[in-house]
């Protein structure tokens, strides 16, 4: 694929967060960008304002004429799109150049030096932190992010000077196997996507395959304690990191007064007084990985300090909507049991002694089927749990798999409510939680503005 020879790029599944970064990238290259998605959203509204031509009906007749020339149009689709999709079938039958999103990202990483962040959880925050550190420094980068950066209000950063490309490396459907990392981080390998992988062993093998793709002049930075045996090429340096141990770690951690400060230890010395712009406990680990990538690419001590202190987070990742002395409401994309456990522990650390309520929408029938006991165990770390129906995304219902599987296994001390999604505002109104976290990767966040109004203590 030669990007320069393209006139247009058409996206099937255009409303996804990862797809939208590519759409913005091709817009920046002067291409006509169009596509289909199932439903409108705040993100698709933004894309349309920026110039992406979108429609929401599965109909080949709605494809713009400029996108109907196989010689000048690239088609990009997400793995969630079924082979029977009418528009995808049209492009297949008419001989178009069709790529998965990950394949296009792979081409981009091969043209530059890819800094690829993989892991069951933590990859969006770590990659966005890394991109921010580089972008505000003398080094610079282009970045394709899996969330909207609060610093830049976008998931795409562009640089004309730097050949570094920060990419969130997604393990779903083995997408990250299309990448060619210069440097890679692996944050976690807790089994997930078992509808794709089948077994924990196959999931771990997929990460092992990812490590084999790192360029011989590059490096791997892997979290200590993971059940993973890297398979790197000769010449690839392997570093470890964690909160308190490894080649990169933290010392002299100070938590209090709404701040987290620590000293960053790396093989070439110590950077004192790193202050987290988003002061939650898990961001110590995420921050160390981002600082490691930034340090290995030439950032100064002062750039590391300034960048981390100025980091503002990612939408739906520990994203505070209300934060007053009497009440807190935040959204967190956590949708795996390990993520929910970490979210619970971090919130408990921030609000000791307060009653903490989780509002959770399970994501996918298969994930609920495979991990419902683990979900119940993690959610039981909260004082109160409000559970809604499963968000199906790309899946059809599975008989007997409902949110009640989780509900019934919550520990006895947990106050619990099971409700339909539409009932969420009235349940929140009735209970008025002191500290509320909205968890999940589905569409429950669309109720966040209404919940803010309900919990706003300044309203009469």
pLDDT score, position 193: 67
Q: In what order do the strands lie in the sheet with 53-55?
A: 53-55, 32-36, 8-12, 73-77, 97-100
Beta-carbon-side half-sphere exposure of residue 64 (alpha carbons within 13 Å): 18
pLDDT, tens only, 231-290 = 999 999 999 999 999 999 999 999 876 689 999 999 999 999 999 998 888 899 999 999
**Spatial distance between the Cα atoms of 196 and 166, rounded to a whole number of angstroms:** 26
3 state SS of 326: coil
Tokens of 150: 């609060």
Tokens of 459: 């309203």
Angle at 132 between CA 190 and CA 257, to 5 degrees: 80
Domains in the chain: ranges and CATH: 3-100 (3.40.50.720), 112-310 (3.40.1190.10), 319-455 (3.90.190.20)
Strands 73-77 and 384-387: unpaired
Handedness of CA 22, 28, 30, 36 (dihedral sign): positive
Pick from 160, 209, 180, 161: nearest CA to 116: 180
Q: Residue 117: in which H helix or E strand, if any? A: strand 113-118
Residue labelled with tokens 């694929």: 1
What is the DSSP annotation of 149-173?
ETTTTEEEE--SS--EEEEEE--GG
Tokens of 104: 């296009």
pLDDT score, position 320: 86
**Spatial distance between the Cα atoms of 406 and 368, rounded to a whole number of angstroms:** 8
CA 450 to chain centre: 24
DSSP state of 238: E
3 state SS of 73: strand
Strands 113-118 and 73-77: unpaired
Distances (CA, A) of 64 to 16, 71, 72: 20, 15, 13
Q: Is 203 exposed, middle or buried (0-12, 13-18, 19+ CB in 10 A)?
A: buried
pLDDT score, position 460: 38
pLDDT, tens only, 346-402 = 888 888 888 999 999 999 999 899 999 999 999 999 999 999 999 988 788 999 999
pLDDT score, position 113: 95
Tokens of 133: 């550190």
User: Which stretches of 231-281 are DSSP H helices?
Assistant: none
pLDDT by 10s per residue, the chain, length 460: 677 789 999 999 999 888 999 999 999 989 999 999 988 988 899 999 999 999 999 999 999 999 999 999 999 998 778 889 999 999 999 999 999 988 898 888 888 899 999 998 889 999 999 999 999 999 999 999 988 898 998 899 999 899 999 999 988 778 899 999 999 999 999 877 666 777 888 989 999 999 999 999 999 999 999 989 999 999 999 999 999 999 999 999 998 766 899 999 999 999 999 999 988 888 999 999 999 999 999 999 999 999 999 999 888 777 888 988 888 899 988 888 988 998 898 888 888 888 999 999 999 999 899 999 999 999 999 999 999 999 988 788 999 999 999 999 999 999 999 999 999 999 999 999 999 999 988 888 889 999 999 998 644 3
Whether residue 343 contacts residue 335, with contact meaning beta carbons closer than 8 Å, is answered with: no
What is the pTM for the complete model shown?
0.77
**Spatial distance between the Cα atoms of 135 and 147, rounded to a whole number of angstroms:** 16
pLDDT score, position 108: 83
């Amino acid at each position: 694929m030669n990007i320069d020879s393209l006139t247009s790029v058409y996206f099937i599944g255009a409303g996804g967060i990862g797809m939208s970064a590519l759409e913005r990238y091709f817009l920046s290259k002067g291409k006509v960008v169009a596509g289909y998605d199932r439903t409108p959203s705040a993100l698709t509204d933004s894309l349309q304002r920026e110039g992406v031509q979108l429609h929401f009906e599965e109909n080949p007749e709605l494809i713009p004429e400029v996108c109907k020339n196989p010689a000048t149009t690239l088609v990009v689709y997400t793995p969630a799109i079924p082979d029977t999709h009418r528009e995808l079938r049209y492009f297949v039958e008419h001989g178009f150049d069709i790529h998965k999103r990950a394949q296009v990202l792979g081409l981009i990483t091969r043209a530059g030096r890819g800094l690829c962040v993989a892991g069951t959880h933590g990859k969006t925050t770590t990659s966005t932190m890394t991109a921010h550190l580089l972008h505000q420094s003398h080094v610079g980068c282009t970045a394709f992010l899996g969330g909207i950066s609060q610093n830049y209000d976008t998931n795409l950063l562009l640089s004309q000077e730097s050949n570094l490309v920060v990419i969130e490396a997604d393990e779903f459907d083995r997408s990250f196997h299309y990448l060619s990392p210069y440097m890679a981080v692996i944050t976690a390998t807790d089994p997930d996507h078992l509808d794709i992988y089948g077994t924990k062993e196959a999931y771990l093998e997929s990460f092992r395959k990812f490590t084999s793709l790192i360029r011989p002049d590059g490096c791997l930075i892997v979290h200590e304690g993971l059940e993973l045996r890297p398979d790197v090429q000769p010449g690839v340096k392997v570093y470890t990191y964690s909160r308190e141990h490894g080649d990169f770690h933290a010392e002299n951690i100070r938590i209090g007064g709404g701040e987290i400060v620590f000293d960053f230890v790396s093989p070439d010395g110590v950077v004192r007084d790193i202050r987290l712009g988003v002061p939650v406990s898990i961001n110590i680990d995420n921050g160390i990985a981002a600082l490691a990538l930034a340090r290995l690419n030439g950032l100064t001590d002062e750039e590391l300090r300034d960048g981390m202190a100025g980091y503002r987070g990612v939408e739906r990742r520990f994203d505070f909507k209300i934060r007053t002395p009497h009440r807190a409401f935040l959204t967190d994309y956590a949708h795996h049991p390990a993520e929910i456990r970490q979210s619970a522990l971090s919130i408990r650390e921030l609000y000791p002694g307060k009653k903490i309520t989780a509002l959770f929408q399970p994501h996918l029938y298969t994930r609920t089927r495979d991990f419902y006991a683990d979900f119940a165990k993690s959610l039981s770390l909260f004082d109160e749990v409000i559970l809604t129906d499963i968000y199906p995304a790309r899946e059809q219902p599975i008989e007997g798999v409902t949110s009640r599987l989780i509900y019934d296994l919550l520990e006895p001390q947990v106050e619990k409510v099971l409700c339909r999604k539409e009932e969420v505002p009235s349940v929140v109104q009735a209970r008025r939680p002191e500290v509320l976290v909205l968890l999940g990767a589905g569409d429950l966040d669309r109720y966040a503005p209404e919940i803010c109004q309900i919990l706003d203590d300044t309203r009469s």
